[in-house]
Structure 1
Amino acid sequence: MASHSSAPPTGLLGNEVTAPPPYNRVRAWIVTAMIVTFMVVNFADKAVLGLAAVPIMDELHISHRTYGLISSSFFLLFSLSGLVVGFVSSRVTSRTLLFIMTLTWTVAQLPVLVVAAVPTLIAGRVLLGAAEGPAASMSMHALYKWFPPHRRGLPSALQIGGAALGTLVSAPVLTWLITDHGWRSAYVALAVASAVWALIWWSVGHDGPFDDVRAVRAGKRGRRNPQAAAAPRVPYRRLLLTGTVLGSISSAFGASWALSLSQAWLPSYLRTELGMTPASAATTISAIAAFSLVLLLTVSPLMDVLKARGVTSRWSSGAAQGIAVCTAGCAMAAFPFMDATVPRQLLIGLAFGTGAVAVPLHYMTVAEIVPTAQRGAVFGIVAASGTLPGLVAPSLTGHLIDAADTTASGYPTAFLISALVMLLTGLLAVARIRPERDAERLAAAGITGR
């Protein structure tokens, strides 16, 4: 091979820029389809307890506070497992991680089928939360192994869109199962769906070429791989304290607050406070999910277009996620006091559907400043921090409802607190997310890590 007299170019973090690995379009989109389906099952698992809340509370004679604790128990190990698996992802393939997760989802549905009681409901939700904590971040990490950075907008939107699609599909299907065949039948259906997905994934879900872990392993076996050259490692403390990562965690926190509230309490609120039938409540939840899906499939690819036209990431994806959370917070504060049916439903859609935009965008902004070899771990940390509201929001809401004179006065208080949290976190995201600035600062500091 001919030698070059000039030094190789370097990237923002000081690593050598090498020839990109080959992009396999067909395989990349097969994996994308599998990961979208993975997210559909993932969010159907999350939604089932909320959809079955009324019959479960009636059958087991449990209070709003107890139900809130059951719902929050899902997040007891959720953030911790997301953090731990994030670091494990640098040593274990995404294929193996996602396979183990989905098999665990199957097992987690079984306790309540054996004995329907509060302890078994909690046990199943804790195990399910532990297995689903890393799901969003690790499936995004697996997806990024198949796409170069400039092609990640649409796949990212589709991955998160799988969450909205999961709610869109599961709300009517699971409601039908719950209404016509009992709430246990929904748990059986989800256990089967998880097991089937795991078996298919083991056959097709291999890791892609844009993977520093694979590159390093290849180097250890004596094969030359361009990705293995001079990949920097930045101290995690320095990465996590950048404004971009802190702002991204903040936007995810606000979006997660609305999401956990929606999954735990929105079905019950629609039925008991707005007088909807189970079918009407399911239709409303599906409509909100459809709205989120449209936003996700529109906004994330638009961010790629804006970046291609020279708009900085601070404004194209950073400000966008903060504004989305703020918009949802304003709607959250308004809809409990709206009497007109149509405006109230529109505000409910904005409150619980708009924040979803922040989820793919916060991964995209974080990915811009994090070395690829550390991306899985940082994604795990960001996901663990951003999803902490799941521990608080459902149980706090149950406590507020039981403590109020009537449920009709308890719900508005919970929604106002949620609105305040979302407004504060959204504003923080707008102010702090600056990927270009933070990447330049890391490069200027000459950080290589150890």
Structure 2
Amino acid sequence: MLKILFVAPYTPSPIRVRPYQFIRHLSQRGHAITLVCPVDNDTAYHELRTICQRVVAVPIRRIDHLFAYAHALPHNLPLQAAHCLTPAMVAAVANEIRSGDHHIIHIEHLRAAEIVRAALHQCGDGPPTLLDAVDSISLLFERTWRRGTTLSSRVRALIDLARTRRYEAAYPQRFTAIAVTSPEDRWALTTLNTTLHKAGASPIIVAPNGVDLTYFHPPTAPRRPNHIVFTGKMSYHANEAAARYLIEEIMPRVWAVRPHVTVTLAGAEPGPRLRAYARDPRVTVTGAVPDLRPYLMQATLAVAPIRYGVGVQNKVLEAMATATPVITARQATVALSAHANRDLIVADDTDAFAHAILELLVNPERCTALGRAGRKYVEQHHNWHTSVAQIEMGYLTALSATRDRSL
């Protein structure tokens, strides 16, 4: 059993699914977890208190975030890394390190990386660290700058791109082990390290995102005919760009042939432009929902026309887990080993998306076959037990490396 200090820049939850599932499964495997995080989801926070050995909740106000950004802006620190870099967060982590009660520190995301580094600096020493970087954020920023659909998202990406590249390049020197969701992200971080920094020895492991296969399951009731769903947090710029692409460019081609096809955009915090789509009676914009499963299980198809992004797209995996046929962009399949035209449909442009949607809507047998193959794929390749086992191996590698250095 390991005693794990788990530091997160937000409350792990079914929306922040990766750290949430890691904590759940690590606890089930007998590890003792102390979680330090801000509280931005009361429901998840109360559940985590029943899973973790202890939860240290750190209040962070909006003004605290702004002060942290303002302090980082004139320096080389990425704004992402400054997000929760407050004295209270650093003090909470430093207090846990000084207790000497933890074997390893699990750092969730770039947003928590500098918190732990600052706490270790205060303490002078501490346990080995595993940074779950999740994705290469600089790769995401580069793609956002090149392909983002709003000026604000492109400018924000450009402001933080160079400093994020430099910070990520130094990961192997700053952390004992690093984890990412996909081989592409490992390639991106390794390339940064060898070109912008001295090559480091700390390993970068791939621990793919999983799916809760009990929670997300195929439906028992019939699906709603001629109905399309797109899911995701709609305030995230890549999801907003995909939703706009779906409604403004793809669906007009579909409606020209089948005018009664309906679409649901299911996810939290849609902006004014997305909410305005609901003026069309064929489009539903839900906002935050307590459970995405009914929307996936009722849909004829799940369409994910991702314009840019990195890592594993949970929206694709969750749809496949419910045996909902998926049509997605090639970008969303880079981190997957799924077979196009067997496990899901890959579309490269607007006409290809519209053609695939129209073809599947009139072919229920093909939809059923795709749905079954998609479910089988996630069962074989995206089980949380396998991903957590990879993280455990990362812990053991970090612990072994630390022992070797101390000899």
TM-score, length basis structure 1: 0.27
Task: Kindly indicate which of the two structures has a greater share of residues assigned to helix.
Answer: 1
Task: Kindly indicate which of the two structures has a greater share of residues assigned to strand.
Answer: 2
TM-score, length basis structure 2: 0.29
